[in-house]
Structure 1
Amino acid sequence: MFIASFLDYSNYCRSGVDCAGMDNPNAWDSLGLLMSVFLAGVIAAALVVVSRALPGRKVAWLDLGQFGAALSIFALWTAFWTILDISNAGAGLILGLLAAIVLAAGAVAGPLVPFLKAPLLSPASPAQGVQGGQAPYGAQPSQGYGYPGGGAQQQPYGAQPSQGYGYPGGPQQGRPAQADPAHTQQAQAPQPAQGGAAPAGDFTPFWFAVPVARPLYGEDGSPNPIAELAPGTWYLAVEQRGQSLIAQTQDGRRGVLQDTTGIQRG
């Protein structure tokens, strides 16, 4: 539509007049036509693209995609009646009308078609220091460099650590190694089962994103949701209550997320 604004929107020429060298007006010669059709369409397209790239962004409690859809319909409405009013419509006005039709159809059908509804950008993790894919909620993170206990191979239950040069109490050459009684008692002590559930007091807040829109209910048990968690936006889990999470939105509101299946942990 921006390119069409530089083309002639009218090809009016009187009969019997040589119009070869006549400079026909374009949309930039008419401020009302420029703002209500062409620039309105460009702004509507930008709002629709931003709403797909950054889902959940709202202005005055309305999604950016809703603003873009309304503005695209306004541009189409104005272009339609303008082309009916001008008897000799030029290429600029015709292309502007066609572009407005395509833009309005895409903006209106976007929330209804899954292919158009998908976000353009995948959500970025707030913890930039973590590299690699995100582990699903409840999964144990893989141990590695910088993780407690990472980098060391686990010994079998009851096995003695390998002793060598520089190890305290290492066996001297020519003598069999003597077992340390205190160390033997520690080795025979029952080891706690790995992978057990951590107590509720050890909960650590973390960032997460939902795969689909999910309601956030009040902490007082009200059946009406207080907010909606949108895909592509990161929220902070501050507490765990059974299978539910206490989540905090960007504006500081807190509520209960009852459905935690498939959430992406940051």
Structure 2
Amino acid sequence: MLFIASFLTFYSIDCSGGLECSALRDKYEYNGWKSDLFPVLPAIFLSGVIAAALIVAARFQPADRKVAGIALDHWGTAFAVSAAWSSLWALGGGGEGRSAGVGLILGLIANLAMAAAALLTQKVPALKAPLMGAPTPQVQSPYGTGAHPGYGYPGPGGPAAGGSFGGQPYGAPQPADQSGPQQAAAQPAGGTGGAPAGAQAPSAGGSDFAPFWFAVPVNRPLFPEDGGQTPIAELAPGTWYLAVDQRGAALVAQTQDGRRGVLQDTSGIQRG
């Protein structure tokens, strides 16, 4: 609506009051694109359009996406408030013989509504909901082919939502290897029957990890893999992330933009 309003009458001149404008009939009406009204176009109309674009774009971008250290929706709010403030000043700054046109009135209404919506979005959680669902990551195969030909959410042969990994839910204690005592009992007494059992112990606790998708119930920080305590990203609910490795009770997770870090708090995660 702002773009259309910029082509409508912004100011109109009433020549009945004795103003000498009869020789300038094309100057009776001005729209936002007239150079005589500069900087009406960038201050009111272009700022409003840029604000709307930034606010909408922020709904489709990750929460940590920033420009010059400021989030996109905050940039949009600043532009929206600036455009609304300029519209208010323009309404009372026409001068003698000038009256506000439909373009100015529509621009004022649009900018005020957008500024109010942008400010309320920061206060009302319901207005922060994304305009569309989280994108599903495309199937990739960074681990090569073979036992794991690729991963995606959810893979045709992958685990179902809320399924278990290795027959046990994530985080549950794994059953001890029962083959060791049985093999040891089968060996002759006094022989070297303990060797096979000892050889199988490392394989039972080996890193036979299969990547899987998961989601977090609340915002969780992602820490660097080198053990640093400054988060490199924040995992948000409603988005699927890839677990590429396991370190004790923690997971090495990969975000959708390729960053990897350690998720230390894995309580309540939802398997994909």
TM-score by length of 1: 0.64
Q: CA RMSD in A?
A: 3.3
Are residue 241 (structure 1) and residue 247 (structure 2) matched? yes
Are residue 229 (structure 1) and residue 235 (structure 2) matched? yes
Q: Take 1:264 and 1:76, find their aligned partners in 2: how far apart are those partners?
A: 46
Q: Which runs of 5+ in 2 are unaligned?
A: 140-151, 166-203
TM-score by length of 2: 0.63
**Which residue of structure 1 lines up, in the alignment, with residue 105 of structure 2?**
94
**Which residue of structure 1 lines up, in the alignment, with residue 175 of structure 2?**
none
* CA distance 1:80–1:113, shift in 2 (3 Å): same
CA contact (8 A) 1:210 1:264 kept: no
Pick one of 74, 78, 82 that aligns with 1:74.
82
Pick one of 21, 27, 31 that aligns with 1:26.
31
**Which residue of structure 1 lines up, in the alignment, with residue 58 of structure 2?**
51
CA contact (8 A) 1:37 1:96 kept: yes
**Which residue of structure 2 lines up, in the alignment, with residue 62 of structure 1?**
70
Q: Which runs of 5+ in 1 are unaligned?
A: 142-197
Q: Take 2:132 and 2:205, find their aligned partners in 1: how far apart are those partners?
A: 36
Q: Take 2:263 and 2:49, find their aligned partners in 1: how far apart are those partners?
A: 40
Q: Take 2:230 and 2:43, find their aligned partners in 1: how far apart are those partners?
A: 40
**Which residue of structure 2 lines up, in the alignment, with residue 261 of structure 1?**
268
Q: Take 1:66 and 1:216, find their aligned partners in 2: how far apart are those partners?
A: 24
CA contact (8 A) 2:225 2:260 kept: no
**Which residue of structure 2 lines up, in the alignment, with residue 139 of structure 1?**
163
Deviation at 1:94, TM superposition (A): 1.6
CA contact (8 A) 1:55 1:232 kept: no
Deviation at 1:257, TM superposition (A): 4.1
Are residue 15 (structure 1) and residue 21 (structure 2) matched? no
Pick one of 44, 47, 56 that aligns with 1:37.
44
* CA distance 1:97–1:50, shift in 2 (3 Å): same
**Which residue of structure 1 lines up, in the alignment, with residue 197 of structure 2?**
none
Q: Take 1:244 and 1:2, find their aligned partners in 2: how far apart are those partners?
A: 51
Deviation at 1:224, TM superposition (A): 4.6
- Determine what percentage of the aligned residue pairs are the same residue: 46
**Which residue of structure 1 lines up, in the alignment, with residue 120 of structure 2?**
109
Deviation at 1:124, TM superposition (A): 2.4
**Which residue of structure 1 lines up, in the alignment, with residue 134 of structure 2?**
123
Deviation at 1:256, TM superposition (A): 2.5
**Residue aligned with 1:85, SS:** coil
**Which residue of structure 2 lines up, in the alignment, with residue 85 of structure 1?**
93
Letter in 1 for 2:122: P
Q: Take 1:27 and 1:107, find their aligned partners in 2: how far apart are those partners?
A: 24
Letter in 2 for 1:27: G
CA contact (8 A) 1:55 1:233 kept: no
Q: Deviations over 1:174-219 (max 9, x none)?
A: xxxxxxxxxxxxxxxxxxxxxxxx9661222234444543222345
Q: Take 2:69 and 2:213, find their aligned partners in 1: how far apart are those partners?
A: 24
Deviation at 1:238, TM superposition (A): 2.0
CA contact (8 A) 2:10 2:31 kept: yes
* CA distance 1:89–1:68, shift in 2 (3 Å): same
* CA distance 1:14–1:109, shift in 2 (3 Å): same
**Residue aligned with 1:78, SS:** helix
* CA distance 1:31–1:259, shift in 2 (3 Å): farther
CA contact (8 A) 1:54 1:121 kept: no
Q: How many residues align?
A: 206
**Which residue of structure 2 lines up, in the alignment, with residue 4 of structure 1?**
5
Deviation at 1:82, TM superposition (A): 2.0
Q: Take 2:61 and 2:124, find their aligned partners in 1: how far apart are those partners?
A: 18
